Structure 1
Amino acid sequence: MFNRITSLGVALGRQLTLQNLQGELATLTSEVSSGKKADPSRELGVGVSVLYKLYTDVQQGDAIRSVGTMAGQRLETMQTALSSTGKLLGSMATVGLQAVNISPPGSQAIVATQARDTIASLATLLNTQVDGEAVFAGTDSGKAPMLPSSVGLAGIRAVLDASNAGLPLDETDVPALLTGMNDLFNVTVGPPPALSYENLFYTSSSKTGGAPSQIRIGAGETLNYDVRGDNPGFKEAFQALSLMSLLDAKTATGVDMLDEDAKALVLEKANSLLGKAQSLLTTVAGELGVKQQRLESVSDIQDKAVTAATAQINTLEGVDYYTASDRISSLEIQLKATYSITAKLSDLSLVNYLR
């Protein structure tokens, strides 16, 4: 009796076979439809770690690409601002030289007016933001780094007022004025005083030479750059423009605060500083351009790495259409045969079975 297979056992076994065939057919049909294996990790076995590593590489690569794209926008915006700065300073240099060499009537007043306008324009450029972050504020990018130009101009006038004692300055008084202006723009020791570039123009807590701005370009690798509103090139530019802005300064009684000889010396110093500022900022733009090229190169490498890893994932997870189609055909034949046998057996009676 124990060696005889009961009809119930045969039926259960056949039902299990049908379920397995149907399940496999459904899985293969889904795989062929999607182009992806239903459970690639099962087929890979111990090699599944390779698949997980590829997914990790793609995720990291996508994150780095995203950061790189945003950083690229920041660097491009900074370059645009530096280009605009160069044009403004170039225009001021032309006006300043014309005032020295041609000296048409009222030219010094024109220089002073344009200098004040240029200071305001530079402050606006240095407050440029990308996605709500000030690009020239260093690591303290949550707020605008530059104060309104009126604050700085008021401080510059205070330096002039402190040097003339209510009397017009002549050429003998100019060295003291230039020293006071130089001290304002070049504080090197201790906290900056009230009349300083840090308190009149650039107020960000992130200073040049401190922790640089960083861009993640790979695992454990960063690209650093440091172009802030207190860069020496910007300081030289603001100092030159500040000196030029004083050329039309007057006392309370309407008298020029600088006589003609004093104006000539101040304008000469301003033109010299302006040329130095242009040179420094040209170097800054060039160095920033090198960073941009490096970032573009890394981005290209990341793109290729992500593309390669994605292709490998597709290979590991992809379905072999020919093999899957052959298997589907084979399963359909098996299912038809099983259904046919089941149908014939269901027609058998106990009498037929006993025969």
Structure 2
Amino acid sequence: MALFNSRISSYQMSYFMRENVNSATMKLSEASKELGTGKHANLYKELGPRTASALQMRVRETETQSFVTANDVLGSKLEATLAATNSIRGTITSVLELTLQNLTRPNQGAEAIQAEARAAIESIVGSLNQSFNGDHIFAGVKSRNAPMIRWGEANATTGHSPESVVNSIVGAGPADTATAASMITDLQAIYDSSYATDPSMNYESTFYGGTPILDSGGNPSPRVSARLDTDQELFYGVQANDPAFREAFRGLSMLASVDVSTISDPATYQAWMDEAMQALSGASEGVLKISTDVGFQQEVVETATLRLKDISIIQTLQIARLENVDTYEVATRISSLEAQLQASYSVTARMGELSILNYLR
């Protein structure tokens, strides 16, 4: 019968003990990290086949947060748009009230209408030239440049200023009803951008430099839009060449270019003031509709954002279930590893004291 005597040297035992200590130390370090961060130290090893799901949820959550951030910015932009349109409507209303007070004949304050109209034009131009984060709100997709030319400023392309265009039509003012009707027709064509006599005098040529209503092919130009979610897009752009603003400028230009208190013929005065009043009244209603539309768009953005935040909560919980550790389990594991290390250190210390010389003493 063969007997095999298996022996382990003290060196081998010391080596095994060192490896055991090193392994336990590394595990203790990982467990301490997990307890501090609340997440698995080696996430992909821990998840195994579920790693793809975790990565996919992380990508989806990042995308969700991007939409939430973009929607918050859009909400602020719409708030700025609403404030501007409300300010414009207030300015129009102020001049309209003065016009109504002097509608049938020049009353007290009629001589101030021209100055009020001129100031209103400057105010509305300033509101329409507002920018948000470097983009001009009312310029359409061509948002890098201010959309409106100031009343007395020459357009670099056409050489005309809005004031010179209107003055070339109105001159010293209407002398009779026929002349007034002809001037009104020409001004309508200019603000509709259909003035064939000199197209460079049109609203979209001299007054306005943003995105035109129609492209070169005669099709509607694209409006500014934003994607609120993966499957939801919102077209929200308000442009300074929208009909309500053009009507506001038409009515105001009629009053700014002529001192109506000097029109002596009652019928001519009535025709001129009626047209200006109708333009301003229509503009006020149009701007009110724009404000209402912007308010509705704000609600759409807010609803989409709230939905995204709810989705984010669900996604965050799902990610936490995969990535987070059970802190009680980790604490128990740390206690076990600490006990294991203490035992290893104790055995190692006792082995260091074993030698033949100690035995022979």
TM over 0.5, yes or no? yes
Question: Is the alpha carbon distance of 1:58 and 1:190 closer, same or farther for their aligned partners in structure 2, counting shifts above 3 Å?
Answer: farther
- Residues 90-134 of structure 1, C-alpha deviations (whole Å, 9 max, x = no match): 111111111015631561x32222111111111111001112221
Question: Is the alpha carbon distance of 1:54 and 1:2 closer, same or farther for their aligned partners in structure 2, counting shifts above 3 Å?
Answer: farther
> Equivalents in 1 of 2:62, 2:319: separation in Å?
12
How far 1:281 moved relative to its partner?
Answer: 1.6
> Equivalents in 2 of 1:225, 1:210: separation in Å?
13
Q: Which residue among 67, 72, 84 is the counterpart of 1:69?
A: 72
Q: Please say which of residues 181-190 and 235-244 is displaced more in the overlay.
A: 181-190
Report the equivalent of 1:172.
178
Q: Which residue among 186, 189, 193 is the counterpart of 2:192?
A: 186
SS where residue 177 of structure 2 aligns?
Answer: coil
Moved over 6 A (4+): 189-192, 351-354
Report the equivalent of 1:344.
350
- Residues 42-97 of structure 1, C-alpha deviations (whole Å, 9 max, x = no match): 11111112221221122112221221122111111110011111111111111111
How far 1:305 moved relative to its partner?
Answer: 2.2
- Residues 291-347 of structure 1, C-alpha deviations (whole Å, 9 max, x = no match): 111001111122222233233333322221211111111112211222222222222
CA contact (8 A) 2:99 2:273 kept: yes
> Equivalents in 2 of 1:170, 1:48: separation in Å?
84
Q: Please say which of residues 92-101 and 309-318 is displaced more in the overlay.
A: 309-318
2:309 matches 1:307: no
2:148 matches 1:146: yes
Q: How does 1:239-258 map to 2 (within 5 A)?
A: 239-248=250-259
> Equivalents in 2 of 1:129, 1:198: separation in Å?
20
SS where residue 173 of structure 1 aligns?
Answer: helix
Question: Is the alpha carbon distance of 1:328 and 1:345 closer, same or farther for their aligned partners in structure 2, counting shifts above 3 Å?
Answer: same
Unaligned segments of structure 2, at least 5 residues: 153-160, 215-219
> Equivalents in 2 of 1:181, 1:168: separation in Å?
13
> Equivalents in 2 of 1:133, 1:226: separation in Å?
12
2:132 matches 1:126: no
Question: Is the alpha carbon distance of 1:31 and 1:353 closer, same or farther for their aligned partners in structure 2, counting shifts above 3 Å?
Answer: farther
CA contact (8 A) 1:32 1:321 kept: yes
Q: Please say which of residues 25-34 and 3-12 is displaced more in the overlay.
A: 3-12
SS where residue 149 of structure 1 aligns?
Answer: coil
How far 1:351 moved relative to its partner?
Answer: 6.9
Counterpart amino acid of residue 277 in structure 1: A
Paired residue total: 344
> Equivalents in 2 of 1:272, 1:141: separation in Å?
31
TM-score (norm 2): 0.87
> Equivalents in 1 of 2:49, 2:358: separation in Å?
53
Report the equivalent of 2:23.
20
2:97 matches 1:86: no
Counterpart amino acid of residue 329 in structure 2: T
Unaligned segments of structure 1, at least 5 residues: 251-255
Question: Is the alpha carbon distance of 1:314 and 1:257 closer, same or farther for their aligned partners in structure 2, counting shifts above 3 Å?
Answer: same
Report the equivalent of 1:114.
116
Report the equivalent of 2:326.
320
2:295 matches 1:289: yes
> Equivalents in 1 of 2:196, 2:54: separation in Å?
57
CA contact (8 A) 2:105 2:266 kept: no
RMSD of aligned Cα (Å):
2.6
Question: Is the alpha carbon distance of 1:320 and 1:135 closer, same or farther for their aligned partners in structure 2, counting shifts above 3 Å?
Answer: same
Counterpart amino acid of residue 270 in structure 2: A
Report the equivalent of 1:158.
168
How far 1:34 moved relative to its partner?
Answer: 2.5
Counterpart amino acid of residue 242 in structure 2: N
> Equivalents in 2 of 1:225, 1:98: separation in Å?
36
CA contact (8 A) 2:189 2:195 kept: no
- Residues 238-295 of structure 1, C-alpha deviations (whole Å, 9 max, x = no match): 1111112233179xxxxx5774432221110111111111122211111121111100
> Equivalents in 2 of 1:2, 1:323: separation in Å?
43
> Equivalents in 1 of 2:31, 2:198: separation in Å?
74
